[in-house]
């Protein structure tokens, strides 16, 4: 059964480790992450962007697939199904479809509007027992080939949003989605420390987990980060393994073209990447 992310993140924050959010794109991705979590006795969060939601035939399809897998694969570790960077409408759609956790990303609105919309969702999520992630200070990333710098959140605004009763807070600390540019200044620990001081025990979320050096990841965890999102690194591992398979001509041998065989190296690569991240984040045997 899917669970809210609240308990697993409170335990992580308390125990000074982080739970990984791994984004899913298809059946193979989902199965690889769930099996790795189970094999390593780790809690896990499956992230779904609105784009991935559309690709996978809508939120109801995803809920059906994930619930089916939990049962058929005998998954007993805590699993949350989480909307990643949701719009207000997307958040409502995922709540209706049966997601157990929601992110409403109101970081691009003026703070008053972010507060208003987040408040409405806090009330709904509380009634239904779902966890809710809010965001302050937008997280940069690549758009049309240009990599935008990650903003640093205003700690006072973080407190205003945290006080609304959200479960977890994503605060921009110079992190960005996708690969980091050569001249990236690194995470702003000054901002993270200030945010952490303002929000008390609230689990903090680090987006853009791909390519952050291990020592920075560990320091972020020591300063209240309890959830770390990883997407691009799994995609790169999948791509590399698939390319090797094709370049070695294995798709041309025997029944190598069979999608079950063609996708198998990528599936194994995602499993290895997820395990590596769970080790780094310290979530193994914390289920």
Closest CB 212 distance from ligand 13P, rounded Å: 8
Select from 12, 158, 230, 278 the one that contacts ligand 13P (CB under 6 A): 230
84 a catalytic residue: yes
- Cα–Cα distance for residue pair 86/92, rounded to 1 Å: 9
Nearest to 99 by CA among 52, 133, 48: 48
Residue 105 interacts with ligand 13P (CB under 6 A): yes or no:
no
For the record, the structure tokens of 168 come out as 């977890």
Residue 101 interacts with ligand 13P (CB under 6 A): yes or no:
no
Give me the residue label for tokens 């006795």.
Answer: 41
Nearest to 118 by CA among 154, 48, 183, 166: 166
Closest CB 261 distance from ligand 13P, rounded Å: 27
Select from 6, 11, 82, 207 the one that contacts ligand 13P (CB under 6 A): 207
- Cα–Cα distance for residue pair 214/205, rounded to 1 Å: 16
Residue 148 interacts with ligand 13P (CB under 6 A): yes or no:
no
Select from 20, 208, 266, 282 the one that contacts ligand 13P (CB under 6 A): 208
Nearest to 213 by CA among 238, 180, 174, 240: 180
Residue 100 interacts with ligand 13P (CB under 6 A): yes or no:
no
68's CB contacts (< 8 A; 6+ apart) are none
The interface region with ligand 13P, picked from 57-65, 152-160, 192-200, 224-232 by CB under 6 A, is: 224-232
Residue 231 interacts with ligand 13P (CB under 6 A): yes or no:
yes
Nearer to ligand 13P, 38 or 237 (CB): 237
Is 156:31 a contact under the CB 8 Å cutoff? no
Residue 178 interacts with ligand 13P (CB under 6 A): yes or no:
yes
- Cα–Cα distance for residue pair 261/51, rounded to 1 Å: 26
Residue 177 interacts with ligand 13P (CB under 6 A): yes or no:
yes
Nearer to ligand 13P, 45 or 199 (CB): 45
Nearest 5°: CA angle at 119, between 117 and 120?
A: 65
The footprint of ligand 13P (CB under 6 A) covers 23, 47, 84-85, 177-178, 207-210, 229-233
Catalytic amino acids? 84
């Amino acid at each position: 059964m899917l669970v809210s992310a609240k308990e697993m993140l409170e335990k992580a924050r308390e125990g000074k480790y982080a739970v990984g959010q791994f984004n899913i794109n298809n059946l193979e991705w989902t199965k690889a992450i769930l099996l790795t979590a189970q094999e390593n006795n780790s809690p896990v969060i499956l992230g779904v962007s609105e784009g991935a939601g559309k690709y996978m035939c809508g939120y109801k399809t995803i809920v059906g697939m994930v619930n089916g897998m939990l049962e058929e694969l005998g998954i007993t570790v805590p699993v949350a199904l989480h909307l990643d960077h949701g719009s207000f409408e997307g958040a409502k759609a995922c709540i209706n479809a049966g997601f157990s956790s929601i992110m409403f990303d109101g970081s691009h609105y003026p703070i008053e509007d972010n507060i208003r919309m987040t408040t409405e969702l806090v009330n709904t999520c509380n009634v239904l027992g779902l966890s809710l992630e809010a965001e302050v200070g937008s997280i940069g990333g690549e758009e049309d080939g240009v990599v935008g710098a990650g903003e640093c959140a205003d700690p006072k605004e973080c407190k205003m949003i945290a006080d609304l009763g959200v479960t977890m807070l994503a605060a921009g600390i110079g992190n960005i989605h996708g690969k980091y540019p050569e001249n990236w200044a690194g995470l702003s620990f000054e901002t993270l420390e200030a945010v952490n001081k303002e929000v008390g025990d609230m689990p903090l979320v680090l987006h853009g987990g791909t390519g952050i050096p291990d020592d920075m990841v560990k320091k972020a965890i020591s300063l209240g980060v309890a959830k770390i999102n990883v997407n691009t690194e799994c995609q790169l591992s999948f791509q590399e393994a698939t390319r090797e398979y094709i370049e070695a001509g294995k798709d041309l041998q025997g029944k190598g073209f069979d999608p079950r065989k063609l996708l198998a190296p990528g599936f194994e690569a995602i499993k290895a990447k997820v395990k590596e991240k769970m080790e780094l984040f310290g979530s193994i045997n914390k289920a």
